[in-house]
Structure 1
Amino acid sequence: MQTNPSLKLAQEEIDLKPWKYTGYQSLSRFLASDNDFFILRRFGTLTVRVLLRLQDQLVQLEERLAVIEHKLHRKEAPDVHNGTFREDTQLERTQVIDEAQGLLKEYRAPKKDIRSLENWLYNNDSAINRPETEFITFESDLFSVVPTIKSPLRKFLEISRHFRLLKIWKQRPSDCPARVPEDENVHYTSDKRMESFIAALNLALGVTMLIAPLWILAFLENLVQKLGVIFAFIVLFLTTVSFVTVANTYESLAATAA
């Protein structure tokens, strides 16, 4: 069987000039083929900087909108319908809302994280222009861009300040130059280490929940007592799974049944 020369030539040219015939089109197709391959750099510090600027732009738009509507609500102002979007004759107000629409996102942030940011701003007073830090006062209007999904067990442990500040969690930010001294008022934690600890704790609890009833049942002869032990450990296991993991109700029930 003879090979088609044109096809062989095309493949040879692809091998010689992959930058021309492969390029980003093929890379994009590969990355989009599976969620596991969709890997991109997050640009954490730069992203936060851009979002802080975006936030300040939204604050300014909010203030402009408030000034516009204050003028329109005055008694001596022209009779303008302020209860319509479709027939709004105030071009400036429409422009402000349109501009904000392109920037605005819905968000929320845990109070614990808000307190941490407040502490940083307090310990670094005057580092950021004061009017540009007032966003922290709008607690119900704050959001976490990349929130960490935490189990109830981790949330419970993090209530303790001593647990959060343990030295075993401490790490230096990867994008912080070595020549820059660490801020003694800031404690950066390794999320990976903390999750590994929680996973080990979950494993220990799980093994205990599985082995303990076997030994207890070995020393019981009464059937009712054995059923009581089984019932108690089923309820305890279900409660434990719900508390130490982020599994939903159905997943917790499935794990307990297994």
Structure 2
Amino acid sequence: MDSPVDFSALAETDDEPDWLAVAANAPAGNQGNQGNQGNQGNQDPGSTRSSNAVPPVPPPTMTAAPTATKSTPDPAPTAADLIQEKPWKYVGYQAYSDLLASEPDFFVARRFRSLNVRVALRMQDEISRLEEKLARIEEESRQPDKGVDNGTFRKDVVSERVELLDKISTSLYRYNKFIIQQTTLLKYPAAPSWDITSLKNWHMSHANEAIHREEKTYLEYPDDLIPIGPRDKTPLRRGMDKFLFLRTLPFWRDDRSKTLSSGGRRRIGDVEDGTGSSKDADLPPDALHPTMSFYNDKVMDHFVSIVTISIGLVMLVVPIWVLQALGNASHKLGVITAFVLACLLLTSFAMTSRPLDALGATAAYAAVLMVFLQVGAN
């Protein structure tokens, strides 16, 4: 039997061969004689091995063990991320209504001035037509050939007139009620432009998606908006609200979290975290109103009162010392005139919006200064 190992190839090298590798490269047909000698004796040495021959076993190779890699799960989205992604779901009308309720100046609505006038004119025309119809019935009932008693309601035989008066009564009630409502609406002042701007900023802070676009277009009619709860403010107080740098001073900043939510935090809902379970998504109220800064009206009103009282004291005390120091009567009259004009401007533009009240206060102030003048002369 021929040896399965080719020794001629090994003679070319001086190194000792790797016998395991040489044996692994031996022909498969000769190796099969160990387990299947009876079956393999008739096979041609050059033929392939049968399907039941034992395959050669390759030498074991050493491979490095794979290193375990730690997969870090993605962090769960925060409540702020959820609000930024879906403000229409987690903000919506709940947060918007809380915002409008937190400040009376923010609760504005349209007056619908043109539509109200049109409806009033329609109701007026309807009553006018009923009035004309009643006049025709009255004219027919006065004809000589008709014995109709027009001096009674109880025994009125003209049924058409009775029904018409019922319609007129109903129409007049609706019309009068509507006119009284319009009279009340016309007394409301226009909504301040800075409050409307604040509401628009709130919408922009939520990508204009917290409220449906068509449902917040009422803010695009600034001349038609009125505050539902208007407050009587002095011109000085309104001036502080008008100028941004005055109303945003840190002295009267208010932590509105206690007003917007009793617990200091607001739950915006149960949010799926991707694993099938729900988690509470809590968010501080300031995150629901990222562009809104709230200020304490009471502090601002107290500040205005202090400023007003201080100016009043200056207007009363300074002229006394000036008049006492001056000896010339003309100079004293000039000082009185200057302080009277200053008092008129102050009361007109800073303290009261009614011209007659400002004029009355100025007249009283001038009388007091004239008393000081007489005292100094004596």
TM tier relative to shorter chain: 0.5 to 0.7
1:119 corresponds to which residue?
201
SS at match of 2:327: coil
CA distance in 2, matches of 1:202, 1:240: 9
Which of 212, 224, 228 is equivalent to 1:141? 224
In the TM superposition, residue 143 of structure 1 has moved relative to its aligned partner by: 1.0
Match of residue 237, structure 2, among 154, 176, 182: 154
Asked if residue 216 in structure 1 is aligned to residue 322 in structure 2, the reply is yes
CA distance in 1, matches of 2:328, 2:124: 76
Separation of aligned partners in 2, 1:202 and 1:189: 20
Gaps of 5+ in 1: 1-43, 66-81, 89-97
Quick one: structure 1 residues 196 and 109, their matched pair in 2 at CA, closer, same or farther if it must change by over 3 Å? Answer: same
Amino acid of the structure 1 residue aligned with 2:237: R
Residue 175 of structure 1 corresponds to which residue in structure 2? 259
Equivalent residues of 2:237, 2:304 under 8 A apart: yes
Shift of 1:215: 1.2
Whichever structure has more strand as a proportion of its residues is: 2
Question: Could you report, residue by residue, the CA deviation over 1:31-58 in whole angstroms, capped at 9, with x for unpaired residues?
Answer: xxxxxxxxxxxxx73999xx88x97xx9
TM-superposed deviation, 1:247 = 5.1
> 2:338 maps to which residue?
232
The amino acid that maps onto 1:110 is P
Change (3 A) 1:171 1:150: same
In the other structure, the counterpart of 1:163 is 246
| Cα distance in 1 between the residues matched to 2:343 and 2:259 | 42
Alignment of 1:58-137 (within 5 A): 85-86=125-126, 108-125=190-207, 126-137=209-220
Q: How many residues align?
A: 178
> Mind listing any 5+ residue stretches in structure 2 that lack a counterpart?
1-99, 131-173, 267-283, 365-378
Normalising by structure 1, we get a TM-score of 0.59
Higher helix share: 1
Tell me the equivalent position of 1:15.
none
3-state SS of paired residue (1:158): helix
- Distance between the aligned counterparts of 2:102 and 2:337, measured in 1? 53
Quote the Cα distance in structure 2 between the aligned partners of 1:84 and 1:221. 71
| CA separation of 1:83 and 1:241: change in aligned 2, threshold 3 A | closer
Deviations 1:12-44 (A, max 9, x none): xxxxxxxxxxxxxxxxxxxxxxxxxxxxxxxx7
Aligned equivalents of 1:250, 1:141: Cα separation in 2: 29
Distance (whole Å) between structure 1 residues aligned to residue 247 and residue 125 of structure 2: 49
Note the C-alpha offset of 1:254.
2.5
Which of 287, 301, 305 is the matching residue for 1:199? 305
**2: CA distance between counterparts of 1:146 and 1:236?**
33
Among all aligned residue pairs of Structure 1 and Structure 2, give the percentage whose two residues are the same amino acid.
Answer: 29
CA separation of 1:250 and 1:120: change in aligned 2, threshold 3 A: same
